[in-house]
Chains A and B, each alone.
Chain A
């Protein structure tokens, strides 16, 4: 019984963790290659989910095509954001870039609200309400699909960054954009690529999130939580982001099962799940400011 419960908790933690990991991957990718911490990552997630909802539910397009459309349009949005805004901001101080991404987040929410409204919607997906029964355990298909597809994506990414010319070029730009430029890599193009891929994974995460629950503008909150996953992984390594995301998801799941609803001397724990990610973030920053996999930068005057 207790074993089953723990497997169940881990399973639901993994399905959320996979989503955090995808979003965190986008964070790290964009941060590493362009030096911009994208606070609008959660909003890109939301836009992806809304586009998928638009095609699948409103236009009745087959589900797979809707997903592909959402991913493609989401990626294009990422490229567009880079060309319109962030290309002009390379080398600006951190507060400026952070604030621009926050401003961008409000713009995206406002546009989404204007186009689709602020209500809660549901995506018509073939996985909804379907389960797989294994012995005494019951797994929701939507969650299972999230985990499987995420793993495939992670593997694809690792192969892309280590084996393909483009991936290596992107990695090189991230390491040192000046030298990469001298080596004949088109740095501007690489930045655009980073934004494209970042928005793409965010879109995928958004669709999964919508499949597990619903589509609404508030879902962009996931972005901030995924940030703690990225911090945990060290902001610098893609592998770290993936592991960070999974840790945050599983910890949240355990906290929700064992701590929520407790009361201690006038303090109600309430739903602790939401704050768990931030508690992790503070702890990591206090103990190991550069994350588990990050390395301390040496700075020169």
Chain B
């Protein structure tokens, strides 16, 4: 009997504690009169590790430029770069750390789409604007108040890829190899939508599990379906596997991939096998317009730091775009900076030109994705670079 009394009184105490400790009002987190704290979550340690250092460098150099110009509305930007390990559990830990411990105002960049999804509730709860890299249709349809994507989505690029193939060859038989997670499936859905719109059918669809390196079954399915274009919604190692398998099968098939593979890293992995590989990406290859690239780097005062031979990786520029959009939002938000005014400010960003290196970024209250357009690049194995073969263009397939 006595024990039950004790337990009852304890639970009562707990209940009182629970009731008593409600929310408390607080100042705007991460903003003072002369500073605003932004976070950049990139992967230094997980499967996306190769992207971490150039992303961080891009973010840091752009923020340094902004601060050298005097900041935004008298506030200097304090950038906190944190490792998110790309996968959901580590991303969650990193987001908690920057929000709770470092008390940042907004997350200007977060690498990885499933990790981004995992931290959405946390961001909503704490009114943190978050910009995910690696975005899905879900981020604009239905969309979320706190999520902005100054980028395209896999869905758009999937549509763009199919339309590009049909431009080249209206009778093309297209097969798709996709990663069976949301990254791949979003690309697949985009490709399907475009195929339906253009009144054709994807003749074969072959999924693979993330991390798989043996692509022979998928390639066998493609061969059997007798496709002449393979759409590869894959990561770098699997693209490598496909190209390798293609040569191993003595098969001259055209392969077009996603933005995740339009990086120079493909050349040391594949060597000559990379020749002719195509990819859809929103970023213009820097080598295509060396003069313009140099001018931009000069303008932001980082030419000496990053150098021109070779140019920094496209990821460098990716983070750059994100923070350019974020800074533009801060400007539009005005001097009275709160999460609410910041969202309003970001929604006013229209046709933000980031030096012509990617499509212009526009947000509206209805659409939190920056652009739907992308370009197609082709690998030149001899010079170890990509060059544009189809310019920046919106897909014709309806995207909403």
Name A's B-contacting residues (CB within 8 A). 5, 8-9, 12, 16, 117-122, 128-129, 131, 133, 138, 140, 142-143, 212-214, 216, 218-219, 221, 253, 256-257, 260-261, 268-271, 273-274
Contact = CB atoms under 8 A, between A and B. Distances in A.
B50 A128 contact: no
Nearest to A209: B213
B265 to A, nearest CB: 7
A133 B241 contact: no
Contacts of A142: 248
26 contacts: A8-B220, A117-B49, A118-B49, A119-B49, A119-B50, A120-B236, A120-B237, A121-B268, A128-B244, A129-B244, A129-B247, A133-B250, A140-B249, A142-B248, A213-B213, A213-B215, A213-B244, A214-B241, A218-B47, A253-B217, A257-B217, A260-B207, A261-B205, A261-B206, A271-B212, A274-B209
B216 to A, nearest CB: 5
Interface stretch (B28-36, B269-277, B311-319, B383-391): B269-277
B211 interface: yes
A122 B244 CA distance: 11
Contacts, number: 101
B180 interface: yes
Contact of A214 (B220, B224, B237, B251): B237
A92 B29 CA distance: 54
B240 A16 contact: no
Interface residues of B, number: 39
Given A143-B248, A261-B207, 5 more contacts: A12-B214, A122-B271, A213-B240, A216-B237, A271-B209
A212 B250 contact: no
B384 to A, nearest CB: 14
B208 interface: yes
A120 B261 CA distance: 13
Contacts of A117: 49
Interface in B191-240: 205-209, 211-218, 220-221, 224, 236-237, 240
Q: Identify the interface centre among A140, A213, A273: most chain B CB within 10 Å of its CB.
A: A213
Q: Is chain A's interface secondary structure helix, strand, loop, or mixed overall?
A: mixed
A289 B250 CA distance: 44
A273 B217 contact: yes
Contacts of B49: 117-119
B180 A138 contact: no
A146 B66 CA distance: 56
Contacts of A122: 240, 268-271
Contact of B273 (A8, A129, A268): A129
B207 A271 contact: yes
Interface in B169-202: 180
B240 A120 contact: yes
Contacts of A216: 213, 237
Please indicate which of the listed interface residues B50, B241, B248, B273 has the most CB atoms of chain A within 10 Å of its own CB.
B248
Interface in B28-52: 45-47, 49-50
| Most-contacted residue by chain B among A12, A216, A260, A269 (CB, 10 A) | A260
A46 B265 CA distance: 21
B248 A218 contact: no
The 3 closest A-B pairs by CB, nearest first: A256-B217, A140-B248, A270-B180
Contacts of B244: 128-129, 213
B212 A129 contact: no
Interface in B237-259: 237, 240-241, 244-245, 247-251
Nearest to B213: A213
Given A218-B47, A270-B207, A12 B216 contact: yes
Interface string B47-74: 1011000000000000000000000000
Contacts of B214: 12, 16, 212-213
Contacts of A218: 47, 211, 213
Given A9-B220, A253-B217, A131 B240 contact: no
Nearest to A254: B217
Contacts of B207: 260-261, 268-271
Contacts of A271: 180, 207-209, 212
Contacts of B245: 140
Given A122-B269, A142-B248, A274-B212, A12 B240 contact: no
